[in-house]
Structure 1
Amino acid sequence: MASSLRLMAEQNAIATEERKHRHEERPKQIQEEMNDRNMQRNTLAYTPMSKAYFHSKKREIMARRELFISNYAPTMGDEDDDYGL
C-alpha cells in the first residue's frame, strides 16, 4: 500500500514537472513563430515608418540567431582527428 502511494506521488511529481516544462517552453515557441513570420514579411507596400520598424526587427532577429550560431562549439572529435582519411 505504501509503495503504491509512493509510486503515485512520484508519477504526480513527474507529470507536474512535465507541465511546468511545457508551460515554460510555450512563450519561447510563440516568440520563434513570430520571429519567423517577421523574417518572411514582405514590406513593399508598407509606409516608410513601418518598413523601418520591420527591417529593424529583422536585424535584431538575425543578430540573435547569429549570436546563437557563433556560440556553437563542436563537442565531438578533436582537431587532430583525421576521421579515417
Structure 2
Amino acid sequence: MHSRSIDLGAMSGVAYYTVEPDGYHVVATLAQNDVSAPPVRFETVLVSGQTMTLSTPRAAGMPPVKVEISRTADQIRVLEAVATN
C-alpha cells in the first residue's frame, strides 16, 4: 500500500492505492477543513493510461484546485495543479 496526503484548498485528506489483479485500486478520503461534516471517499481502479481527477471549485472565473492521480505502466503519479489568480 502506498499513500500520499492531498490538499484541495477547502478539503484535504489522503489517497492510497493497492495493487490488485484487476488494476491499481485507488482510494481518496477527503474532509472539509473548517466544517465537521463527514468525510467523503472516492474509489476507482486504474489500469495503465488512466487518470483520476479530484477538484474543488473556487470563485466564478477562477480555475478549480485539483489533484490528478494517474497510472503509467507500474507507476502512480500524483500531480497537484497550482491554482492561479
TM-score range relative to shorter protein: under 0.3
Higher strand share: 2
Q: Which protein has the bigger helix share?
A: 1
Scaled by the length of structure 1, the TM-score of the pair is: 0.21
